[in-house]
Amino acid sequence: MRTLGIGLLGLGNVGSGLVKLLEDNAEAIAARLGARLEVRRIAVREVDKPRMVEVDRSLVTTDVEAVLADPAVQIVVELVGGEVAAREFVLGAIERGKHVVTANKALLAAHGDEIFNAAERRGVDIFYEASVCGGVPLIRALRDGLASDKIDEFIGIVNGTSNYILTRMADEQRPFDEILADAQAQGYAEADPGLDVDGWDAAHKLCVLCSLCFGARVPVTEMLVDGLREIAPIDFDYARRIGCVLKPLVIGRDHASDIEARVHVAMIPERWLLATVSGVFNGVYVSSQALGPSLYYGRGAGMMPTAVAVVSDVIEVARDILSAASSGLPLRLRIRDWRERPVRPRGELVSRFYLRFRVRDRPGVLAELDGVLAREGIAVREVSREVGETVILTTQAAREQAMQRAFEGFARIDAVLERPRLIRMMD
């Protein structure tokens, strides 16, 4: 039986999970594939660091170049993360005719075009199932399962840390900072949580999904990206009262003219399936023309879930190698026609809004707030004067730019004690 060689870049959590899965399931994989898979070189930053799995020390090196150049390596698995070094390594692997499996959404979001083009020129595969929703085979579902369909829209919960924090805030009625600190202590959030709670990790994944679903390059810098630092327990109370929950969403829509791409917390009806996606779990709702709605759910992070996705990709690349599929066929990632599609400007995006104000407790404030909104053409839907200084106000659908101008108006109202908080609403 033939053996295919894997070169592993990075031996952290996911790399260790990969080594473990390949060992534990070696027989099953060989039976399925008709070939063996073997990790032949492993590049790490520190050779002597303690690892979660036992590996043959002679395989381990700090020299990435040695891994990429090794003729016994056919498949390079990039698990170093980040954008700069990873880009160099992945392009280096492609250059040497190696197929690449990566879990790196930041890399794909920043340099996807360059990498996919290089791979196409060189006739090698790039697989990236683990980059979105961890072990949930979402990329496969969209790429192969819906290959004959046209995707119109997807709405996803793709950042487990954000979902975990919002779920616990809802359950325990405690403020963001406390829950974040807890999550950090338990390892559910990074010491530097910005990538997760400010929406950038989700934005990277949204970028990958827009490429895959719409064939559109949507730079992260052109998306509406908003995090969850300003959400407070009172927002959950209000949401509950109107039958909603708060979820950290990515939303992609293919309008005839342009692509809508946004990352933010939203109030969604509790009867939606996505409303039941809780804790660290991920879920993506997809709407396509022939199939209609479908949904994919599971763990979006963690050592073994992510490793499952990486190894499944490795198996598929190995199949392609064994059948020489990659010699002439177009890359699998090019599921849709790839076109330069305009991105809908942030200011043009439309939502209903929930606004929470802290105001001086005196008569006439509501008229002032409504006045500001009315000047921007925004209609108020409901007003709720909470205890003390809090006023909550929801609006009809309005453009982001109109709301932004309204915020300038609010700033000029004496009775408004601080910048209002804003949550977008969906129904």
Which residues sit at the interface with a second copy, rule CB under 8 A? 17, 21-22, 25, 27-29, 31-34, 129, 134-137, 140-141, 144-150, 271, 273, 276, 283, 288-299, 304-305, 307-309, 311-312, 314-316, 319-320, 322-325, 327-330, 334-337
CB of 124 to a second copy, least distance (A): 14
Closer by beta carbon to a second copy, 166 or else 223: 166
* Helical ranges in 134-277 per DSSP H: 138-140, 160-172, 176-185, 194-197, 200-214, 233-241
Closer by beta carbon to a second copy, 180 or else 335: 335
Reading the block at residue 52, the tokens are 């979660």
Closer by beta carbon to a second copy, 68 or else 244: 244
CB of 89 to a second copy, least distance (A): 23
Closer by beta carbon to a second copy, 112 or else 305: 305
Closer by beta carbon to a second copy, 141 or else 366: 141
What's at 311, amino acid-wise? Answer: V
In sign, the C-alpha dihedral spanning 308, 315, 332, 340 is: positive
Cα gap 80→327, rounded to integer Å: 28
Cα gap 255→267, rounded to integer Å: 23
Residue in this structure with the two tokens 């390596």, named with its chain if needed: 73
CB of 217 to a second copy, least distance (A): 17
Q: Which one is catalytic: 20, 98, 105, 205? A: 205
Decide if 41 contacts 61 (C-beta within 8 A): yes
CB of 271 to a second copy, least distance (A): 8
CB of 130 to a second copy, least distance (A): 11
CB of 279 to a second copy, least distance (A): 11
Cα gap 263→381, rounded to integer Å: 24
Decide if 283 contacts 157 (C-beta within 8 A): yes
- Buried b / exposed e along 359-372 (16+ C-beta atoms within 10 A): beeeeebbebbeeb
Decide if 246 contacts 274 (C-beta within 8 A): no
| Burial of 238: CB neighbours in 10 Å, binned 0-12, 13-18, 19+ | buried
Active site residue 205: yes
Decide if 9 contacts 89 (C-beta within 8 A): yes
* Helical ranges in 25-63 per DSSP H: 26-33
Closer by beta carbon to a second copy, 119 or else 369: 119
Q: Residue 230 gets which letter from DSSP?
A: T
Catalytic residue IDs: 205
